[in-house]
Amino acid sequence: MPRDATLEDVAKHAGVSLATASRVLNGSTRQVGRELRERVEHAATELGYTTNRAAQALARSASDILGLVVHDLSDPYFAVLANAVVRAADMHGLSVMVGTTFRDPEAEIGYVATLRAQRVRAIVLAGSRIDDAAMTERLRAELDRYRGTGGRAALIGQDLLGVDTVVPDNHAGAGELARSLAGLGHTRFAVLTGPATLLTAADRVAGFAEGLASLGLPAPLLFPGPFDRDGGYAAAQRLLAADTDVTCVFAVNDVMAVGALAALRDGGCEVPGRISVAGFDDIPTLRDLTPALTTVRLPLADMGRRAVALALGTVPIVAEPAETEVVLRESTRSLLEDA
């Protein structure tokens, strides 16, 4: 098995020194005379030379890898985010190394350690923090270790780790959603809250509840459960079983809302005829659902891009949260026209 051509091979082949070959092939500030430059380039293509990035990273002590850690790539929320991050990294000439944690904080910490070992240029951490001080502290410690030696990091989620963060305005978005739904005449709400420990979920629940309270409406009924499609399904089933006078359900994210829609449909409950449903995120992949889902739009792709910019330090730190926007669609109906 022939080995890869090295820079030395190229230099020999071209009859120049290692230094010259390096200068020609990998961006240096120094000029190389036309004659030698062409000899080197020719030798390189002839030998099929490709820079060994690992060696390059070692010599330069700077890698061209960006680390990304998400909870679950098959969740369209993260898929869209990851997509944007990969794209943005590409624009900066960086490759992306992804890790998935499947919502295991332990795995998340482990993955940051792996990325630190790779000496990646920057780390982007996506996904909700959880309400677990010990875990948060350990993650923070790991990140601090990384940043302590020049590593850069950015977060998408709650600003809890002392690093630059793109924070989706969950609280405000949910509040606005509450007001919009109330504007349609709804007064009795249920919330499929997701896990109590997930801060993103908690923020949305709180924002929603406060929105209602600010209008003098009664507090919503809460149905906790997992943060995914099946969690939404199960929670909605429980809602149905509870036999309430709720006219509108807020699932704290779109994939849960999809599950809820399925459960209501399976339970013979018309949406929005009998119950209206709203989600959060406005996942592009889910826009063609019927009934089309009322939701709160998050600028996912933009958030990914901004996180990369923050991580790379190409942008001044702005604490300004990612703006949300309520999008009313068919899954919620107005009760007012009944009057």
Partner DNA sequence: TACGCTTCGGAAAGCGTTTCCCACGCTACG
Partner DNA sequence: CGTAGCGTGGGAAACGCTTTCCGAAGCGTA
124 binding partner (options DNA, a copy of itself, none; Cβ < 5 to 8 Å by kind)? none
- Decide whether 73 or 222 has the Cβ nearer to a copy of itself: 73
Instruction: Find out whether 171 and 324 touch, Cβ atoms under 8 Å.
Output: no
Question: Minimum CB separation from DNA for residue 50, in Å?
Answer: 7
Helix axes 76-91, 254-266, angle to 10 degrees: 150
65 binding partner (options DNA, a copy of itself, none; Cβ < 5 to 8 Å by kind)? a copy of itself
Q: 37-75 burial string, b = 16+ CB within 10 Å, else e?
A: bebbbebbeebebeeeeeeebeeeeebebbbbbbbbbeb
47 binding partner (options DNA, a copy of itself, none; Cβ < 5 to 8 Å by kind)? none
Question: Residue 189 gets which letter from DSSP?
Answer: E
Question: Minimum CB separation from DNA for residue 42, in Å?
Answer: 14
148 binding partner (options a copy of itself, DNA, none; Cβ < 5 to 8 Å by kind)? a copy of itself
Question: Minimum CB separation from a copy of itself for residue 57, in Å?
Answer: 4
Q: Which stretch binds DNA (CB under 7 A): 32-40, 185-193, 197-205, 228-236?
A: 32-40
Which tokens belong to 71?
């909870």
Show the CA angle centred on residue 124, arms to residues 135 and 320, nearest 5°.
95
Q: Which residues, numbered 36-75, are part of the site for DNA (CB under 7 A)? A: 36-37, 49-52, 55-56, 58-61
* Among the listed residues 300, 289, 285, the one whose alpha carbon sits nearest the alpha carbon of residue 260: 289
Based on the shown chain and the rule CB under 7 A, indicate whether residue 113 belongs to the binding site for DNA. no
Based on the shown chain and the rule CB under 7 A, indicate whether residue 170 belongs to the binding site for DNA. no
Which tokens belong to 17?
């020194």
Question: Minimum CB separation from DNA for residue 92, in Å?
Answer: 18
* Among the listed residues 37, 35, 36, 44, the one whose alpha carbon sits nearest the alpha carbon of residue 13: 44
Question: Minimum CB separation from a copy of itself for residue 50, in Å?
Answer: 5
Which tokens belong to 309?
């910019």
- List contacts with a copy of itself (CB under 8 A): 1-4, 48, 50-55, 57-58, 63, 65, 72-74, 76, 79-80, 82-83, 86-87, 90, 95-100, 113-114, 116-119, 145, 148-150, 229, 255, 258-259, 261-262, 265, 284-286, 288-290
Based on the shown chain and the rule CB under 7 A, indicate whether residue 334 belongs to the binding site for DNA. no
Question: Minimum CB separation from a copy of itself for residue 187, in Å?
Answer: 28
Question: What is the DSSP code string of 209-270?
Answer: HHHHHHTTPPPPEEEE--SSHHHHHHHHHHHHHH-----EEEESSHHHHHHHHHHHHHTT--
Q: Which stretch binds DNA (CB under 7 A): 3-11, 92-100, 190-198, 279-287?
A: 3-11
Number of chain positions touching DNA (CB under 7 A): 33
- Decide whether 52 or 95 has the Cβ nearer to DNA: 52
* Among the listed residues 143, 89, 135, the one whose alpha carbon sits nearest the alpha carbon of residue 116: 143
Question: Minimum CB separation from DNA for residue 12, in Å?
Answer: 11
How far apart CA 265 and CA 245 sit, in angstroms, is: 17
Based on the shown chain and the rule CB under 7 A, indicate whether residue 233 belongs to the binding site for DNA. no
Task: Choose which of 16, 66, 198, 307 interacts with DNA (CB under 7 A).
Answer: 16
How far apart CA 150 and CA 21 sit, in angstroms, is: 30
- Decide whether 51 or 244 has the Cβ nearer to DNA: 51
33 binding partner (options a copy of itself, DNA, none; Cβ < 5 to 8 Å by kind)? DNA
**β-bridge mates for residue 322, sequence order:** 168
Question: What is the DSSP code string of 3-66?
Answer: PPP-HHHHHHHHTS-HHHHHHHHTT-SS---HHHHHHHHHHHHHHT----HHHHHHHHT---EE
Residues of this chain that interact with DNA (CB under 7 A) are 3-4, 6-8, 15-20, 22-23, 25-26, 28, 30-33, 35-37, 49-52, 55-56, 58-61
